[in-house]
Amino acid sequence: MASVSPLAFRRFIKNFAIPILFFLSAVVTWPILAEMELFERFYEYSRAHEDWDLDEFALLIVNLTIALVFSAIFQWHRLKRLVREREFQRQRAEKNARHDPLTGLMNRRAFSSAMEQIEEQAAGSNERIVAMIDLDRFKPVNDLHGHAAGDHTLQTVARRLREEIGPEAVLARLGGDEFAVIFDPSAGVVQVERIARRLLHTMEQAVAFEDGQIFISGSIGLVKWNTATSCVEALRRADKALYTAKNEGRSQFAWYDAELDRQSHARAEIEADLREAILKSEIEPWFQPIIQIDSKKLIGFEVLARWQHKTHGHIPPNVFIPIAEDSGQVGSLGLGILRRACMAAGEWDPDLSISFNVSPYQFQDPKLVDQIKAILQECEFDANRLTIEITESSVINDFDVARTKLNALKGIGVAVALDDFGTGYSSLASLRQLPFDQIKIDRSFVTNIAAEPQNQKIVSGIMALANGLDLDVTAEGIESTEDLGFLQSLDCSLGQGFLFEKAVPAEQISWLLESKWGNLHVDPEEENFEVLKPFRGAG
């Protein structure tokens, strides 16, 4: 029997206390009055005082008592009906709060409660398999066919999932086009993988809607959940596995990989620390010498970013720069490095230049030229001493836009170089259509070139092309006298690499210039490269 809430009870007392008291009084006092013959006495008394109209008064009291009794009965039934209606509304509200109104499945809240209940009952001694399911290509369904079609598709998918996973599994719609499953405890890895394949197949079957058909697919992430692990962590791992399945091509399932998760966690940690590192200027510019090969003269430095993390130590640029690009921080990172590099280089010999690499993402910024110009003015650095290096991926999508931006850079006095030349697919087109001042041969073609005949042919072809277009060439990755000797035979203009020096921090440049590069003479026939060994441990 449904319980009566305290509020309903208080209202009952307020509305029906007096009628009930009258009724109870009548029930209790009627036998007493009859026993004491008070009715006969009243009759005799009324006959003796007929002018008082006592009979009419007594009749009125009786009628009122009967009316109050019937009123109490009516109000009691009304209260019971009201209590039943409120209980029904409460149960319906509780169901709506725990179930998805579209598909009738559990919602996220109820699914979490189910996991917590399993966790408590198992007490860490049981293992279940949890799946996260996400529909592929679902957004176009709403866009092309309307939300009614999307709702119908979700209802159809929910029904198909329920039929495949069986009655003992827990199924929920977490939101949007995302579903979750807790498989039956008896379901092992082999059985779950068979179910996952059936799920993928059934989701690919056409969904009939009105006069047409809707085609979708799904991806599934699977994780073994030992209930000693929190349900929140289990869902996070299942979501990671789902992300892996989508990255590997969709329409498939993937198991949670702890090593991939560790790498992802480390990446997320670096991304979180990166913003603070940029604000605090913890990522510093280091400088690698660039040598004029024919005259053996130092002509400048390439600016390289270095990050010494407070807990992880040295983090390579090929780790944190892609993270900066993906998180939208590469612009502020690059401008900060360029500003500090210009400030440092402003104290050197004015004949020394610096080369600075601009990320493809940063190159797309329409404010880039104005930002570089502002930094040069702020640092009072001569624009003619700066070369901006860009990779082919920065310009390949739209040569017209790239040409405009490169001309704008050259307009403020900055030289432009095409970096990593030879690694792209349209380098010849880039050189033909864009106003570069020089090219840089990628280190993969230069390092150990004496033992790589194929690379020798590639570099020889690049040099012939550059000479025909009257472009300076910088060869990266020179690490041996043999590399240097081959480049000298081709009359390559400039070179950089570990043979000359690794990148060094700004505070070591002055000492390097005073004690090393003043009398440096590089000759492949001589073994005088030992003079640079004190610096080879840096960078």
How do residues 299-350 score in pLDDT, each as one tens digit? Answer: 999 999 999 988 888 999 988 998 898 888 999 999 999 999 999 999 999 9
Residue 476 annotated as catalytic: yes
User: Residue 513: inside a domain, yes or no?
Assistant: yes
**Res 42: pLDDT:** 58
pLDDT of residue 396: 79
> Is 371 a member of any domain?
yes
Q: Do 81 and 183 belong to one domain?
A: no
Residue ranges for the chain with pLDDT beneath 70: 1-65, 68-69, 88-97, 122-125, 424-430, 516-539
Question: Do both 291 and 387 map to the same domain?
Answer: yes
Number of domains making up the chain = 3
In a domain, 227, yes or no: yes
Choose the final residue of a domain: 256, 289, 320.
Answer: 256
Same domain, 402 and 312: yes
Beta-ladder partners of 29:
none
List, for residues 449-484, the tens digit of each pLDDT value. 988 899 999 899 889 888 888 888 999 999 999 999
Are residues 370 and 495 located together in one domain of the fold? yes
CA distance 180 to 132: 5
Phi-psi region of 230 (alpha: psi -120 to 50; beta: other; left: phi over 0): beta
409 and 519 part of one domain: yes
**H/E run at residue 333:** helix 330-345
Asked if residue 127 and residue 70 are part of one domain, the reply reads no
CB-based contact 270:323 (threshold 8 Å): yes
Residue 325 φ then ψ, to 5°:
-65, -45
DSSP-derived letter for residue 349 is: -
**C-alpha angle 198-202-203 in degrees, rounded to nearest 5:** 120
pLDDT number for residue 62: 64
Q: Indicate the angle between helix axes 258-279 and 317-326, nearest 10 degrees.
A: 80
pLDDT at position 47, please? 59
pLDDT given for residue 122 in this prediction:
65
Cα distance between residue 358 and residue 345, in whole Å? 18
> Which of 476, 501, 525, 526 does the annotation list as catalytic?
476
84 and 184 co-located in one domain: no
Which pLDDT score is estimated for 250? 86
Task: Give the structural domain span for 58.
Answer: 6-98
d(CA 242, CA 55): 89
In a domain? residue 20: yes
Residue indicated by tokens 């003015």: 377
Instruction: Provide the mean pLDDT of the chain.
Output: 82
Same domain, 144 and 242: yes
Residue 467 counted as domain residue: yes
Largest CA distance in the chain: 154
The reply to whether the predicted model has a pTM over 0.85 is no
CB neighbour list of residue 346: distance below 8 Å, 6 or more residues apart: 379, 380, 381
Q: What residues contact 340, with CB distance under 8 A and at least 6 apart?
A: 281, 284, 285, 506
